[in-house]
Chains A and B, each alone.
Chain A
Amino acid sequence: MSESKKLDLPAVRALLEKSHGREYWRSLEDLAQTDAFQDLMHREFPRYASEWEDGDSRRNFIKLMGASLALAGLSACTRQPTEHINPYVRQPEELVPGRPMFFATAMPLGASSTGLLVESHEGRPTKIEGNPDHPSLGACDVYAQASVLGLYDPDRSQALAQEGEIRSWGAFLGTVQQAVAAQKAKQGAGLRILTETVTSPTLADQIKGMLAVFPGAKWHQWEPAVAHSAAAGARLALGQPVNTTYDLRGANVIVSLDADFLSSGPGSLRYARQFAAGRRVRTPQTDMNRLYVVEPMPTPTGTKADHRLPLRAADVEQFAWSLAAALGADTSGRKGVPNAAFDKWIGPIARDLQRHRGASLVIAGEQQSPAVHALAHSMNALLGNVGKTVVYTEPVEANPVDQVASLYDLVKDLDAGAVDLLVVLGGNPVYDAPVELGFRDRLKKATLRVHLSLHEDETSELCHWHLPMTHYLETWSDCRAHDGTVTIMQPLIAPLYAGKSVHEVLTMLTDQPERSGYDIVKSYWNSQHTGADFEAWWRKAVHDGVVPDTALPVKTVALRAGWAASLPQPAGQQGLEIVFRPDPAVYDGRFANNGWLQEFPRPITQITWDNAAFMSPATAHEKGVVTSDLVELEYRGYKMRAPVSIQPGHADGSVTVHLGYGRTRAGHVGTRIGFNAYGMRTSTALWQDFGLNARKVGSDYLLVSIQDYHALDTRRHIIEATTIDKYRSNPNVIQESAEAPPRELTLYPEYRYDKYAWGMAIDLTACTGCGACVVACQAENNIAVVGKQEVHHGRHMHWIRVDSYFHGDIENPKIYNQPVPCMQCENAPCELVCPVQATSHSSEGLNDMVYNRCVGTRYCSNNCPYKVRRFNFFLFSDWNTPSLKLQRNPDVTVRSRGVMEKCTYCVQRINRAKIDAEKEERKVRDGEIQTACQATCPTEAIIFGDINDPNSRVTKLKAEKINYGLLADLNTRPRTTYLAALRNPNPEIET
């Protein structure tokens, strides 16, 4: 069986050679026609008649959640915080019932934060938007979009617990004050504080304050998924830790050394926006930046590369050495091990970089080794990019330490029994600390253990005291952006449960334990404030969501001469490589209980509800495994079972696993799904290492991806792509290949759309496939989560999806992303077949869906060539859980069982804007309406507007020569059209 299941690679290659022209394909199994694929495709009925039960188990736990909530006695009422919080003035100052207000705040994550404007309906935060005044430029990532669900997560811990027993804050205060008093005597020698990465000035000030009182106490930091080696790299090359930020506006040639700077890590939102701006070709004259990416696992950044080279994570360092050497950087004679894969690239890339001195950029990946960071520093210095495309500042972290060392230090003290009182503020070290530390057992050595967290998680389980933490939307605090800009976070809602913020908990250890978070934060900033009228300043700062002039000052640093001398001569390594990366959806595991993120199809892989061992076709072939087989990964004696997912474009000889799964105490959604890669992650190799063994131990694991496997006939007009040169030589190249029938070829009289005619244009050149639009849409439109089983059955409910297609050879295909919302066809096939007029056309060209009228024949979906309609096969929406009701958008119907639903171009937003416009007796202005997907898009790839207005952005885009309609040959006349994907390859490499 396993033999026959082998992937016949030669066959695949042959097949691809046969396929002349642009041959797009969806997946490998498809090309390969492996037995596994045959299996998958040939489940002839009546096989697989397995669903006696309808697999709606998710419904049951939602019920459980409802129950647990009822027990907690939470009613659906909300209270504004008593303190004065400041509405972000877009709408009239005063709150108008039925009108949302927007409040500025920020979501801290790792060593950075995203600036937000949170939409609040009568005191309920319901939707996250980006804050354009913030360095994140008004875009959002999936984490920010989904965080609003995290606020209302019914599994959040709702009460203090002392070893499982519910207690009052008073009781805790008593205990902890006692313990602290005991510490007073010994200078706090037994007091330890463990936090995640801290960027909050207030918190840092509080902790430093404590350390002043307790000189013997120690502050440790551990967060699993931050850039641990960046600081080391900076020390190596520049002699000091610095924060490296980039300005892509001036960068014409960008080399990413395994850096996914477009979709993850500090500043990625800003970088994505700037990067896309540098690629927006509107006339053949405009220039286009060029991106080279070397990385093991395809990332959204990789999909945008003009040249992408899959390299083992370790080889990225070799590549960096070679490139640096080729550029003539000071590498103390060290150079990378020659490698057939990239040697031919080094020259062209080096020349390309040199041609753009001061306008080029080398970015080292957060997870790459210190050496790679150092090399990036030296290359940027050499190319004169420093100060132009690269900007150095002081670290954003309040206390930049080597977190691994910090954690080791703590462990040492624990072993010595020196820890009397351990206060864990946030984080989940028991789950995510390096495995060799055995933190689970060592933690127990602390005499009194206190854990503050959103959920009762793995760490809370082992602590004497579990304290419920307030969600950031319930909290007064502050945080820094990637460039240091401070946001004062204001609560949108009073804590739903008995939670306290980290500031409030910390102050309980002091002699003024009753201070509110508001006082702590405000008084800190008062103490920092110079000049008159603090109140006005405070009001403005809170209102704007950014504190003026808090971006860290630019720092000039010099490259250490001969820095490389200290390093050993780079040597090639053999064997199978294991690569750890944060999960694109649940990150380091903290979002594991967020249904939206679990169901969010990961970029490129399209997998939901799971993590997997990703490997290249060749590696899979060698191991004799195919997608959804189970392999046993063995690394340094640690063993782990993981499902295989074959990822075209993955580096050979390397296996990527995503962190954040295999949670044992995450909540009803996130517990016990996927495998826990932390179980193999050691402090000496946080991100990648060799010495992995993988052997097949099973098959038919239910690995659910929302795209099934099929080849794409290029005669179908789905993805249109070309290169900038071809476009320049013939601007009509796209339109010539398309087959849109001329409008006048019809017997029917045309319907006329006199007032408004809504339309959308999606720029495939800009789209990185990050998927923020998918989650944004889910939040805006009350879209239900259906659970793994139902996604497996093909019943996911996303109104917009990001299809990904591969093109070219399987080792290193080009990858295209295509966001697909409803096309709002003017000749909508769905409307014609609806027996009850539940879907019909509006006077503005919207393809309306009337839920109340729908009887659920599903005929419309059958007849929709784009398959963008979604059906409620069961009662998918949760009608019971009170807290989830709070999250719902009151302007959008919550769908019930048996009705069809679909993208409406956010018609609720359109109508709000139209009402405003009518009141002011004007037409809706261009850009006044932003659909949820558009508003959150980091690269502004989605543009919506009135195509009757000749000056609107969307009209201009649709006039572009590279504008085309999806399946336009069907004469559906889609209102949503696409701008073809343009690439800018280096003629020296690709001709």
Chain B
Amino acid sequence: MADERPIIEEELPPEPVIAPGYTFGTVTDQIASVVLTRRTPAFWMACFSAGFALLLVFLWCVALLFAKGVGIWGIMIPVGWGFAITNFVWWIGIGHAGTLISAILLLLNQRWRNSINRFAEAMTLFAVACAGMFPLLHMGRPWLFYWMFPYPNTMGVQPQFRSPLVWDVFAVSTYATVSFLFWFVGLMPDLATLRDRATNRMARGVYGMLAMGWRGSAHHWLHYETASLLLAGLATPLVLSVHTVVSFDFTIAIVPGWHSTFFPPYFVAGAIYSGFAMVLVLAIPLRWVYGLEGLITDKHLDNSAKVMLATGLIVGYSYMLETFTAWYSGNVYESSALWNRMTGPYAGAYWFLITCNIVSPQFLWFKRVRSKPLFLFLASLVVLMGMWLERFVIIVTSLAQDFLPSSWRVFHPTRWDWATYAGTIGLFTFLFFLFIRLLPMISIFEVRTLLPQAKIEEEGEA
């Protein structure tokens, strides 16, 4: 996979990934204290409340949606899919970075990952949660969503396994399950730590139950290491497959602008692109607020930025390829679809996304830029916006102007489209900050292994 190459080339860091001066104890205490002892900072309160407020907006939208129907959105014939599916693809994509960091980088033995994989995985889970809701919400009769699953029923009908939507159901639910298991397994030793360090009885009880009696015995670690490697090995093809399957939603259809074979790599690259952007958007403020610069060092930001740059280039290449094939195919539907995209009612959106996704990452070539957290933060926001627009443009413009001009129409989002979208961002923030508060956002035991003291001096060496 092209998108991993820069990571492979990435040497083991010459200087330690963790700032000097840490001991097993201090590492443990600093990370655990965020959860256990330290007072909740105002920053957390602010973000959490904001998230919660947006979450309420989301619930409001959903209530109205179920009461009245999907007509409250701007969708119509021919544009049957609007914001809902756009958001779905966007969120799923964001999830990918988490799995990539935790699984692929683990396989590639990129040990710098250890201090960011935990919250990256959490991010994956919550992103998938947001994404997973849209296929359900966008249905005309959401209360029948379970008809998408194969189950013995009196109707004698089963899902239509040739439909990419059914593939989605399987891919996304598998992805969600596996990500959760992987994440939870990773948590077990740290839960034990929390159990042992918790002062108040209830916390100890809860963490104790979750840790399931983990003792960190040599036997445990033996199986544990094997398990994480296996899970990583499983998650890697999975994460690549999920966005491939999502892209099938479009490539399997005959709609001009959708029906093309290079979507899978294109989508996967885009997913990781937006995913790492989200990682940076979360990591940069967190390490600043909780003073974790020692654990999430500039090294991490730098590497993430490089990954963004690489995937961003792949995405840019895809845009060019898309244009080329449309022209080269000589297919009237394909070429006019792309022409409409560039010059038609959505030209603004199209060119804006080009700016966001192709122009902005070029700055990341420069080390000086990559070492400026604030700039990285802004760049990541731009990329996130750009990737959302990309999905919107692909989905909506292709549908708006397909085969028979007599049916062509322009899609206008309603306020409910926007509110629902903003609502899921709220849900994400809500869940994420809950996680920050209740679980160690950095994998404590894996950071311990990064410390020099963790190395065994054999006889003769010393």
Closest to B135 in A: A857
* Residue from the list B79, B163, B405, B413 in contact with A832, Cβ < 8 A: B163
> In the complex the two chains form, is B253's CB within 8 Å of A862's CB?
yes
Contacts of A837 in B (CB 8 A): 157-160
Closest to A804 in B: B406
Interface-located stretch among B10-18, B67-75, B300-308, B449-457: B67-75
Interface assignment of B255: CB less than 8 Å from any CB of chain A:
yes
Report the Cα distance A793→B409, complex, angstroms. 9
Closest to B406 in A: A803
Report the Cα distance A853→B72, complex, angstroms. 23
> In the complex the two chains form, is B139's CB within 8 Å of A857's CB?
yes
Interface assignment of B442: CB less than 8 Å from any CB of chain A:
no
> In the complex the two chains form, is A855's CB within 8 Å of B72's CB?
no
Distance (whole angstroms) from the CB of B361 to the closest CB of chain A? 24
Taken residue by residue from 51 to 84, chain A's Cβ proximity to chain B (1 for < 8 Å, 0 otherwise) reads as 1101010000000000000000000000000000
Q: Which chain B residues numbered 390 to 409 have a C-beta less than 8 Å away from chain A?
A: 399, 401-409
Contacts of A736 in B (CB 8 A): none
Q: Which chain B residues numbered 229 to 276 have a C-beta less than 8 Å away from chain A?
A: 252-255
Interface assignment of B76: CB less than 8 Å from any CB of chain A:
yes
Contacts of B158 in A (CB 8 A): 837
Report the Cα distance A856→B77, complex, angstroms. 13
Interface assignment of A871: CB less than 8 Å from any CB of chain B:
yes
Report the Cα distance A51→B418, complex, angstroms. 11
Interface of B is mostly: loop
> In the complex the two chains form, is A833's CB within 8 Å of B399's CB?
no
* Residue from the list B332, B346, B414 in contact with A716, Cβ < 8 A: B332
> In the complex the two chains form, is A44's CB within 8 Å of B348's CB?
yes
Interface-located stretch among A285-293, A442-450, A704-712: A704-712
> In the complex the two chains form, is A41's CB within 8 Å of B410's CB?
yes
Closest to A840 in B: B160
Interface-located stretch among B92-100, B143-151, B183-191: B143-151
> In the complex the two chains form, is B71's CB within 8 Å of A54's CB?
yes
- The answer to whether residues A832 and B162 also contact, given A41-B410, A863-B253, A872-B140 and a CB cut-off of 8 A, is yes
Distance (whole angstroms) from the CB of A301 to the closest CB of chain B? 22
Interface assignment of B372: CB less than 8 Å from any CB of chain A:
no
Q: Which chain A residues numbered 14 to 53 have a C-beta less than 8 Å away from chain B?
A: 26, 40-52
> In the complex the two chains form, is B140's CB within 8 Å of A871's CB?
yes
Contacts of A26 in B (CB 8 A): 405-406
- The answer to whether residues A867 and B404 also contact, given A49-B415, A853-B147, A862-B399 and a CB cut-off of 8 A, is yes
Distance (whole angstroms) from the CB of A329 to the closest CB of chain B? 44
Interface assignment of A858: CB less than 8 Å from any CB of chain B:
yes
> In the complex the two chains form, is B81's CB within 8 Å of A858's CB?
yes
Interface assignment of A834: CB less than 8 Å from any CB of chain B:
yes
Report the Cα distance A725→B417, complex, angstroms. 55
Interface assignment of B118: CB less than 8 Å from any CB of chain A:
no
Distance (whole angstroms) from the CB of B304 to the closest CB of chain A? 30
Taken residue by residue from 704 to 744, chain A's Cβ proximity to chain B (1 for < 8 Å, 0 otherwise) reads as 00011011110110100000000000000000000000000
- The answer to whether residues A836 and B254 also contact, given A795-B76, A803-B406 and a CB cut-off of 8 A, is no
Q: How many residues of chain B have a CB within 8 Å of chain A?
A: 65
Closest to A802 in B: B406
Contacts of B81 in A (CB 8 A): 858-859, 862
- The answer to whether residues A855 and B141 also contact, given A41-B344, A49-B415 and a CB cut-off of 8 A, is yes
> In the complex the two chains form, is B162's CB within 8 Å of A855's CB?
no
Interface-located stretch among B164-172, B284-292, B320-328: B164-172
Report the Cα distance A715→B141, complex, angstroms. 39
Report the Cα distance A871→B399, complex, angstroms. 15
> In the complex the two chains form, is A857's CB within 8 Å of B165's CB?
yes
Distance (whole angstroms) from the CB of A977 to the closest CB of chain B? 16
Report the Cα distance A708→B349, complex, angstroms. 21
Interface assignment of A110: CB less than 8 Å from any CB of chain B:
no
Closest to A39 in B: B345
Q: Which chain B residues numbered 31 to 89 have a C-beta less than 8 Å away from chain A?
A: 68-72, 74-81
Interface assignment of A869: CB less than 8 Å from any CB of chain B:
yes
Distance (whole angstroms) from the CB of A791 to the closest CB of chain B? 10
Interface assignment of A239: CB less than 8 Å from any CB of chain B:
no
Report the Cα distance A833→B250, complex, angstroms. 10
Interface centre among A43, A707, A832, A873 (most CB of B within 10 A): A873
Contacts of A835 in B (CB 8 A): 148, 159-160, 163, 165-166, 169
Interface assignment of A854: CB less than 8 Å from any CB of chain B:
yes
Contacts of B163 in A (CB 8 A): 832-835, 859
Taken residue by residue from 843 to 862, chain A's Cβ proximity to chain B (1 for < 8 Å, 0 otherwise) reads as 00000000001111111011
Interface assignment of A874: CB less than 8 Å from any CB of chain B:
yes
Taken residue by residue from 818 to 834, chain A's Cβ proximity to chain B (1 for < 8 Å, 0 otherwise) reads as 10100000000100111
Distance (whole angstroms) from the CB of B288 to the closest CB of chain A? 32
> In the complex the two chains form, is B140's CB within 8 Å of A858's CB?
yes
Closest to A870 in B: B77
* Residue from the list B402, B404, B416 in contact with A51, Cβ < 8 A: B416
Interface assignment of B336: CB less than 8 Å from any CB of chain A:
yes
Contacts of A711 in B (CB 8 A): 405
Taken residue by residue from 398 to 442, chain B's Cβ proximity to chain A (1 for < 8 Å, 0 otherwise) reads as 010111111111111111111000000000000000000000000
Report the Cα distance A52→B413, complex, angstroms. 11
> In the complex the two chains form, is B68's CB within 8 Å of A708's CB?
no
> In the complex the two chains form, is A836's CB within 8 Å of B160's CB?
yes
* Residue from the list B155, B169, B344 in contact with A853, Cβ < 8 A: B155
Interface centre among B80, B144, B336, B349 (most CB of A within 10 A): B80
Report the Cα distance A869→B155, complex, angstroms. 24
Distance (whole angstroms) from the CB of B290 to the closest CB of chain A? 35
- The answer to whether residues A49 and B413 also contact, given A711-B405, A858-B80 and a CB cut-off of 8 A, is yes
Report the Cα distance A835→B141, complex, angstroms. 13
* Residue from the list B139, B166, B346 in contact with A856, Cβ < 8 A: B139
Taken residue by residue from 542 to 562, chain A's Cβ proximity to chain B (1 for < 8 Å, 0 otherwise) reads as 000000000000000000000
Interface assignment of B138: CB less than 8 Å from any CB of chain A:
yes
> In the complex the two chains form, is B415's CB within 8 Å of A51's CB?
yes
> In the complex the two chains form, is A861's CB within 8 Å of B80's CB?
yes
Interface assignment of A897: CB less than 8 Å from any CB of chain B:
yes
Interface assignment of A967: CB less than 8 Å from any CB of chain B:
yes
Contacts of A840 in B (CB 8 A): 160
Contacts of A712 in B (CB 8 A): 405
- The answer to whether residues A710 and B408 also contact, given A44-B346, A836-B160 and a CB cut-off of 8 A, is yes
Contacts of B344 in A (CB 8 A): 41
- The answer to whether residues A708 and B141 also contact, given A795-B71, A874-B69 and a CB cut-off of 8 A, is no
Distance (whole angstroms) from the CB of A966 to the closest CB of chain B? 8
> In the complex the two chains form, is B255's CB within 8 Å of A862's CB?
yes
Closest to A966 in B: B404
Interface assignment of A794: CB less than 8 Å from any CB of chain B:
yes
Closest to B407 in A: A867
* Cβ contacts A to B, 10 pairs, < 8 Å: A41-B344, A49-B418, A707-B407, A710-B401, A833-B165, A836-B159, A855-B148, A858-B75, A862-B78, A862-B399
Given contacts A716-B332, A857-B140, 11 further A-B contacts (CB under 8 A): A41-B344, A42-B347, A51-B74, A52-B415, A54-B72, A708-B410, A801-B406, A835-B160, A840-B160, A869-B77, A871-B80
A interface residues, Cβ below 8 angstroms from B: 26, 40-52, 54, 56, 707-708, 710-713, 715-716, 718, 790, 793-795, 801, 803, 805, 818, 820, 829, 832-837, 840, 853-859, 861-863, 865-867, 869-875, 897-900, 967, 970
What 6 pairs across the A-B complex have the smallest Cβ distances? A856-B140, A898-B140, A873-B71, A858-B80, A794-B76, A867-B407
